[in-house]
Amino acid sequence: MYKGYLIDLDGTMYNGSELIETARGFVSELERKGIPYVFLTNNATKSQAEAVQKLIAMGVETSPENMYTSAMATAAYISTHHRGASAYVIGTSSLKSMLQDAGLTLSEDEADIVIMGLDPDIDYAKLKRAALLIGKGAGFIATNPDRRFPTEEGIVPGNGALQQVLIETTGVEPVIIGKPNEFILEGAMAQLKLEKHEVALIGDNYDTDIMTGINGGIDTIHVDTGVSPAEEVLKKDVLPTHTINNLSEWSI
Distance (Å, rounded) from C-alpha 219 to C-alpha 202? 9
pLDDT of residue 36: 98
Under-70 pLDDT residues of the chain: none
pLDDT of residue 227: 92
pLDDT of residue 53: 97
3-state SS assignment for residue 230: helix
pLDDT of residue 238: 98
CB neighbour class for 63 (10 Å; exposed up to 12, middle 13-18, buried from 19)? exposed
Angle at 229 between CA 29 and CA 73, to 5 degrees: 60
Q: What is the reported pTM?
A: 0.92
pLDDT in tens, 4-36: 999 999 999 999 999 998 999 999 999 999 999
pLDDT of residue 38: 98
pLDDT of residue 151: 85
pLDDT of residue 84: 95
Domains located in the chain, CATH noted: 4-70+179-249 (3.40.50.1000), 83-176 (3.40.50.1000)
CB neighbour class for 242 (10 Å; exposed up to 12, middle 13-18, buried from 19)? middle
C-alpha R_g of the chain: 18
